[in-house]
């Protein structure tokens, strides 16, 4: 659960929006949080529709002017949480600095007990869902060694 003063959360099977709102609130309260298995976090809805929306989102503006659209699952999760923080204020920036999101489980967290968020589990969904990994792969992410 805690590693020093950091909380380690296993993202496997958690709904992205619900998890992000809970994590954002805890970051604002001063907690330092590491999220592992970020590629196994899910978004609710029809798979085809979500992937279609993600591809359409990439066509907004261009790389020269922004905005920056991430394809890496950990950055997609981190940006979602950032959207729930007042990151333009000093309080929000400090909270955002306390967040770390990892692909898989890094070696330093292998033997650490990981927390999960019961209110954000995908088991409660009646319909379908798609993992962040599937979305990222459909928009061009290729996992490289060390990422």
Taking the chain (147 residues) in runs of 10, the rounded mean pLDDT of each run is 73 95 96 96 90 80 71 93 96 96 94 93 86 90 68
Phi, psi of 23 (to 5 degrees): -65, -40
Look at residue 147 in the predicted model and tell me its pLDDT.
52
Look at residue 100 in the predicted model and tell me its pLDDT.
97
In a domain, 144, yes or no: no
d(CA 4, CA 11): 20
CATH of the domain at 103: 3.90.1180.10
DSSP label at 35?
E
Q: Residue count of the chain, please give it.
A: 147
d(CA 26, CA 20): 10
In a domain, 143, yes or no: no
- Counts for the chain of helices (H) and strands (E), in that order: 5, 6
Look at residue 146 in the predicted model and tell me its pLDDT.
57
Range of the domain at 130: 2-138
In a domain, 146, yes or no: no
Look at residue 61 in the predicted model and tell me its pLDDT.
66
In a domain, 75, yes or no: yes
Look at residue 121 in the predicted model and tell me its pLDDT.
93
In a domain, 54, yes or no: yes
d(CA 96, CA 102): 15
In a domain, 56, yes or no: yes
In a domain, 147, yes or no: no
Look at residue 26 in the predicted model and tell me its pLDDT.
96
d(CA 91, CA 30): 10
In a domain, 61, yes or no: yes
Q: Provide the edge-to-edge strand list for the sheet that holds 32-36.
A: 2-3, 6-10, 32-36, 99-101
How far CA 39 is from CA of 28, 31, 43, 56, 104, in Å, comes to 24, 22, 11, 21, 7
**What total number of domains does the chain contain?**
1
């Amino acid at each position: 659960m805690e590693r020093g003063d950091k909380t380690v959360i296993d993202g496997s099977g958690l709904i992205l929006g619900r998890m992000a709102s809970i994590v954002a609130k805890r970051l604002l309260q001063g907690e330092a949080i590491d999220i592992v298995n970020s590629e196994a976090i899910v978004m609710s809805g029809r798979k085809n529709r979500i992937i279609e929306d993600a591809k359409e989102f990439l066509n907004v503006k261009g790389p020269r002017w922004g905005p920056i659209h991430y394809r890496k699952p950990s950055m997609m999760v981190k940006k979602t949480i950032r959207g729930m923080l007042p990151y333009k204020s000093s309080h929000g920036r400090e909270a955002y600095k306390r967040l770390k999101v990892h692909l898989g489980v890094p070696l330093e967290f292998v033997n650490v007990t990981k927390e999960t968020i019961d209110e954000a589990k995908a088991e409660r969904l009646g319909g379908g869902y798609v993992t962040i990994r599937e979305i990222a792969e459909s928009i061009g992410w290729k996992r490289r060694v060390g990422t």
